[in-house]
Amino acid sequence: MIDKNLLLENYKKHFGDEEPRFFTAPGRINIIGEHTDYNGGFVLPGAVDKAITMAIKPNGTEYVNLISVDHDDAALFFRIGGPQPKEQWASYFYGVIEEMRERGAKVGGFNAVFGGDVPLGAGMSSSAALECCIGTALNTLFDLHFTREELAKIGQMTEHHYIGVRCGIMDQFASLFGQKGHVVRLDCRSLEYQLVPFKPKGIEIVLIDTMVKHLLASSEYNVRRAQCEEGVAVIKKYLPNVELLRDVTIEELEAHRDEIDPMSFRRCAFVINENKRLMDACAAMEKGDFVEVGKLVYATHEGLSQEYGVSCPELDFIVDIAKTHESVLGARMMGGGFGGCVIALVKKEGVADYIADVKEKYQLKFDKDPRVIEVEISDGAREI
């Protein structure tokens, strides 16, 4: 988490000696269940100890004044109800406010300084962390009475309407509902969830960032979603109750293979199989069988790379190295794809060797250093 004192120092520099309040919202990891959320399936994320944090105070006007310490103290202001800012980072604020106003909320102007330590481009959902931090802060400061579920939807719709990414709700939900020592098994259709204890003995979560920024992720994400919807449309002609891929079995998909574009068929098959892998992983976790969880995690990467087509050479390379280490139970790309990081479940005694091996071989192969990110499962959005 970014130092509160740094935010306070910047706040007083720009807005005077008034005392702001502080809010934070975390990024997330996802153990298994990738690209299932917008298909109404299941996911298994956890909030982490990397977060967006904000110093904020209402200013009694209709203007929002922002300072981003992550963009060299860039300053920007806009009027509530006015045109959308051109800068994407400010559009998150604008979008959350507009989504709240659409729901009848009265949001006033405010001054805010924000920053964070969620690694950008690593598939840890820095954008959702920002949306949830904004939403939690405004909900509290202006006494808006939105539930956490409603705040998650507000963040999701901000992405849809103001950023142009048709994301699911996993990232926002994890950022808001996360709890230390637990992962969240979320049904993305009903939004029913269960906090599942996640304390594997002798096993650590290791994130290795390829340092490849997933520039294709937003556009290709929308393509994948459209391909899944195409498959559903075909099945729905025969099974009218089908609304999402969540409702389709692999047998039902196979029965109509000839009517579905081959690429769309592969995308749909991955999602259906991924939902099953997640349920199998949850069952294995309940038994404490993390060897089986690791096998399922490896299978997820294979599907993401070969069937869903969202990996890249750098991600595949790091996963391939993992397979040569007996201490690594499972590894896969995490997030939208085309870059970002690999998440691995590693026995503690083998963590240092795995990291050293990846660093050496990755540098030789790609002439760049990967970034190792240490994370702990943490609490969700809150005032601090």
315 token code pair: 């991600």
Residue 381 lies in a domain: no
Residues 128 and 231 in one domain: no
User: Which of 170, 199, 228 marks a domain boundary?
Assistant: 199
- Number of structural domains in the chain: 2
Residue 300 lies in a domain: yes
Environment class of 291 (CB within 10 Å of its CB; exposed 0-12, middle 13-18, buried 19+): exposed
User: Which of 143, 166, 199 marks a domain boundary?
Assistant: 199
Residue 78 lies in a domain: yes
Tell me what pLDDT residue 121 has. 66
User: Which of 184, 199, 214 marks a domain boundary?
Assistant: 199
Residues 130 and 209 in one domain: no
184 token code pair: 């969240």
Pick the closest to residue 8 from 53, 61, 58, 65 (CA basis): 53
Order the strands of the 371-374 sheet from edge to edge.
328-334, 341-347, 203-209, 371-374
Residues 195 and 207 in one domain: no
Active site residues: 171
42 contacts 31 by C-beta, under 8 angstroms: no
Rounded distance between C-alpha atoms, residue 245 and residue 42, angstroms? 11
Tell me what pLDDT residue 214 has. 64
| CATH code of residue 325 | 3.30.70.890
Q: What is the amino acid identity at position 73?
A: D
Residue 382 lies in a domain: no
Residues 183 and 75 in one domain: yes
Environment class of 142 (CB within 10 Å of its CB; exposed 0-12, middle 13-18, buried 19+): middle
Pick the closest to residue 23 from 2, 39, 38 (CA basis): 2
Residues 229 and 261 in one domain: yes
The pTM assigned to this predicted structure is: 0.86
Tell me what pLDDT residue 196 has. 86
> Quick one: how far is CA 2 from the chain centroid?
19
Residue 329 lies in a domain: yes
Phi then psi dihedrals of residue 116, to 5 deg: -165, 175
Residues 45 and 96 in one domain: yes
Tell me what pLDDT residue 337 has. 83
pLDDT along the chain (384 residues), means of 10: 90 91 96 91 94 97 94 87 93 97 97 91 85 98 98 97 88 95 92 88 93 71 91 96 94 96 96 96 89 97 96 96 98 88 95 97 96 91 97
172 contacts 155 by C-beta, under 8 angstroms: yes
Q: What is the amino acid identity at position 52?
A: I
Rounded distance between C-alpha atoms, residue 301 and residue 316, angstroms? 8
Residue 113 lies in a domain: yes
Residue 326 lies in a domain: yes
384 contacts 21 by C-beta, under 8 angstroms: no
Residues 188 and 220 in one domain: no
162 secondary structure, DSSP code: I
Residue 335 lies in a domain: yes
SS3 196: strand
Residues 218 and 165 in one domain: no
Structural domain of 218: 203-374
| CATH code of residue 180 | 3.30.230.10
